[in-house]
C-alpha cells in the first residue's frame, strides 16, 4: 500500500513539475531578451570613438567565434585520430587472423582433395571391424562440421577486414577535410587579429586626446553596473535548487578561476583615480577559466570594455563574473558545477595582455575575491 501511495503521489506531482519547468524556461527566455535589449542600449554608437569601439567589438566577436570553432575542429580531429588508431589496430589483428586461418583452410582443402568426393565411402571401406563403423562416421561428421566452421570463420574475417579497411579510408578522408578546414579558419583568425591590432592603435590614438581614457573607464564601469543590476532584478524570481551548498558557507574555500599572477589588488587605486572592484589574473591565452562554485549562467556575451563576459548566479544574491575571455563555452540558462570550464583566457575588451578580470558581487556590491578564494 505504501508503494502504491508513493506512486500515486509521484504521478500527481508530474504535471505540476512539468509546468514549473516550462515556466522556468519561459522566464529564462524573457531574461535573455531583456539582456539583449539592454546590450543594444549600452553599446549604442554615439561618436567616432564609439564607432572604433564597435569595430573592436566586431573584431573580437569574430576572433572569439573562430577560436571556438577551431577548438571544436581540433577536438573532432583528436577524436577521429583516436578512432583511426583503433581501426588500424583492429585491421592488424584481422590480418594476423586471416593469415593464420588461411593456412588452416588450405590444409582442410588439401585434405578434402586427397580424399576426393567419396571420402565417407572410402573411410567405411577401409574399416576392417564393423563395430568401428558408427564411431568413425561420427568422427567424420565432426571433422566436416569443424572444417565448415573454419571456412565460415575465415570468410567472416575477410568480410570484417573489408569493412574495417573501408572505414579507415573514410576516416582518413574526413580527417584530411577537417585539416583543410582548420587551416582556413586559422587563416581567417590571423586576418581578424590583424584588424583588431589596427583598431586598437586607432583607438589608443583617439583616447590619448582630452582625457578619453578616464571617460572610457567610467563608461565601462557604468555599463557593467547597469548590467549587473538588471540581471539581478531579472533573476530574482528564478528558483535555485535547494540541494546546492550555500555560497556564503564556502567563504575562503573556493578555488580561483585560473592559476595566474594577480596583476592588481581589490580596492587598489589606479593611476586615473578609479579603484579596482575585482582582480585581474594573468594567465596563458587559451587556458580554461573555471567556475568557482555551482551556479547558473545568466550572461554569456560581449560587453563593451569587458570583452567576452560570463556572469554566474550562485543564489542568495551572490554572483561571480569573468571578463576579457577569448571565447565562451556556456550559454545563458546552463547550470555549471564548481571547476567546470566556462570560458578560455583571452585579451578581449581591448587588453594588450591575456588574463581574466574576476569579480564577486553580493546584491550588486563588489566583494574582495581574496576573502572568498583560497590563498
Q: What is the pLDDT of residue 346?
A: 92
Q: Same structural domain for residues 269 and 175?
A: no
- Mean pLDDT calculated for residue range 350-354: 86
Is residue 3, in this structure, part of any structural domain at all? Answer: no
- Mean pLDDT calculated for residue range 283-292: 94
Q: Same structural domain for residues 136 and 37?
A: yes
How far apart CA 32 and CA 22 sit, in angstroms, is 15
How far apart CA 356 and CA 291 sit, in angstroms, is 12
Domain end call among 209, 231, 263: 209
Is residue 229, in this structure, part of any structural domain at all? Answer: no
Report pLDDT digits (tens) over 41-83. 655 545 445 676 777 777 787 878 888 888 888 888 888 788 8
Alpha carbons within 13 A on the beta-carbon side of 105: 16
Domain end call among 168, 187, 209: 209
Q: What is the pLDDT of residue 291?
A: 96
Start-to-end CA span in the chain (Å): 55
How far apart CA 173 and CA 153 sit, in angstroms, is 30
- Of the pLDDT bands very low, low, confident and very high (cuts 50, 70, 90), residue 9 is very low
Is residue 236, in this structure, part of any structural domain at all? Answer: no
Q: Same structural domain for residues 193 and 325?
A: no
Sign of CA dihedral 355, 361, 366, 367: negative
Domain interval for residue 42: 31-209
- Mean pLDDT calculated for residue range 185-211: 72
- Of the pLDDT bands very low, low, confident and very high (cuts 50, 70, 90), residue 305 is confident
How far apart CA 355 and CA 325 sit, in angstroms, is 8
Bridge partners (DSSP) listed for residue 281: 262, 356
Is residue 276, in this structure, part of any structural domain at all? Answer: yes
Would the pTM count as exceeding 0.95? Answer: no
Q: Same structural domain for residues 149 and 282?
A: no
CA distances from 151 to 93, 147, 173, 349 (A): 18, 6, 34, 69
Is residue 319, in this structure, part of any structural domain at all? Answer: yes
How far apart CA 161 and CA 169 sit, in angstroms, is 12
Is 2's pLDDT higher than 60? no
Is residue 221, in this structure, part of any structural domain at all? Answer: no
Q: Same structural domain for residues 252 and 198?
A: no
Q: Same structural domain for residues 171 and 250?
A: no
Q: Cβ–Cβ contacts within 10 Å for residue 7, how many? A: 10
- Which helix H or strand E contains 178, and what residues bound it? helix 131-207
Domain end call among 156, 190, 209: 209
Q: 368 is written with which cell numbers?
A: 574582495
Report pLDDT digits (tens) over 86-97. 878 887 877 777
Report pLDDT digits (tens) over 263-276. 999 999 876 678 89
Q: What is the pLDDT of residue 195?
A: 78
CATH code (residue 152): 1.10.287
Q: 45 is written with which cell numbers?
A: 554608437
Q: Same structural domain for residues 90 and 176?
A: yes
Q: Same structural domain for residues 149 and 251?
A: no
Angle at 296 between CA 334 and CA 258, to 5 degrees: 100
Q: What is the pLDDT of residue 338?
A: 93
Is 8's pLDDT higher than 50? no
Is residue 301, in this structure, part of any structural domain at all? Answer: yes
Q: What is the pLDDT of residue 116?
A: 53
Q: What is the pLDDT of residue 60?
A: 80
Q: What is the pLDDT of residue 16?
A: 45
Q: Same structural domain for residues 40 and 160?
A: yes
CATH code (residue 366): 2.70.70.10
- Mean pLDDT calculated for residue range 233-249: 72
What is the DSSP code (8-state) at residue 316? T
Q: Same structural domain for residues 269 and 172?
A: no
Structural contact between residues 102 and 179, judged by C-beta atoms closer than 8 angstroms:
no
Higher pLDDT: 178 or 242? It is: 178
Region of 349 on the Ramachandran plot (φ > 0 left; ψ -120 to 50 alpha; else beta): left
Q: Same structural domain for residues 197 and 319?
A: no
Q: Same structural domain for residues 188 and 268?
A: no
Report pLDDT digits (tens) over 17-26. 445 566 667 7
Q: Domains in the chain: how many in total? A: 2
How far apart CA 312 and CA 271 sit, in angstroms, is 30
Is residue 204, in this structure, part of any structural domain at all? Answer: yes
To the nearest whole number, what is the mean pLDDT of the chain?
77
Amino acid at each position: 500500500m505504501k508503494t502504491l501511495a508513493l506512486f500515486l503521489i509521484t504521478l500527481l506531482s508530474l504535471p505540476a513539475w512539468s509546468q514549473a519547468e516550462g515556466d522556468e524556461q519561459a522566464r529564462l527566455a524573457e531574461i535573455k531578451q531583456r539582456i539583449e535589449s539592454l546590450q543594444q542600449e549600452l553599446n549604442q554608437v554615439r561618436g567616432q570613438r564609439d564607432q572604433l569601439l564597435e569595430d573592436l567589438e566586431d573584431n573580437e566577436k569574430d576572433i572569439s567565434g573562430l577560436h571556438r570553432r577551431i577548438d571544436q575542429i581540433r577536438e573532432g580531429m583528436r577524436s577521429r585520430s583516436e578512432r583511426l588508431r583503433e581501426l588500424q589496430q583492429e585491421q592488424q589483428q584481422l590480418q594476423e587472423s586471416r593469415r593464420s586461418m588461411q593456412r588452416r583452410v588450405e590444409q582442410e582443402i588439401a585434405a578434402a582433395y586427397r580424399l576426393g568426393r567419396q571420402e565417407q565411402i572410402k573411410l567405411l571401406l577401409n574399416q576392417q571391424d564393423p563395430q568401428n563403423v558408427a564411431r568413425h562416421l561420427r568422427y567424420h561428421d565432426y571433422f566436416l562440421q569443424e572444417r565448415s566452421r573454419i571456412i565460415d570463420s575465415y570468410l567472416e574475417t575477410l568480410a570484417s577486414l573489408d569493412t574495417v579497411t573501408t572505414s579507415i579510408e573514410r576516416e582518413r578522408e574526413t580527417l584530411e577535410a577537417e585539416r583543410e578546414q582548420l587551416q582556413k579558419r586559422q587563416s581567417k583568425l590571423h586576418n581578424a587579429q590583424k584588424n583588431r591590432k589596427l583598431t586598437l592603435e586607432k583607438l589608443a590614438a583617439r583616447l590619448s586626446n582630452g582625457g578619453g581614457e578616464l571617460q572610457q573607464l567610467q563608461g565601462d564601469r557604468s555599463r557593467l553596473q547597469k548590467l549587473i543590476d538588471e540581471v539581478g532584478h531579472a533573476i530574482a524570481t528564478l528558483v535555485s535548487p535547494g540541494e546546492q551548498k550555500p555560497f556564503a558557507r564556502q567563504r575562503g574555500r573556493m578555488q580561483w578561476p585560473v592559476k595566474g599572477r594577480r596583476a592588481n589588488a581589490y580596492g587598489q587605486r589606479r593611476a586615473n583615480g578609479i579603484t579596482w572592484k575585482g582582480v585581474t589574473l594573468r594567465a596563458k591565452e587559451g587556458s580554461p577559466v573555471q567556475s568557482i562554485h555551482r551556479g547558473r549562467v545568466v550572461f554569456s556575451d560581449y560587453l563593451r570594455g569587458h570583452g567576452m563576459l560570463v556572469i554566474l548566479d550562485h543564489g542568495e544574491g551572490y554572483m561571480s563574473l569573468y571578463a576579457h575571455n577569448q571565447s565562451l563555452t556556456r550559454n545563458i540558462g546552463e547550470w555549471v558545477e564548481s571547476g567546470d570550464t566556462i570560458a578560455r583566457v583571452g585579451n578581449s575588451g581591448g587588453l594588450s595582455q591575456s588574463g581574466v578580470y574576476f569579480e564577486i558581487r553580493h546584491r550588486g556590491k563588489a566583494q574582495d575575491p581574496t576573502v572568498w578564494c583560497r590563498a
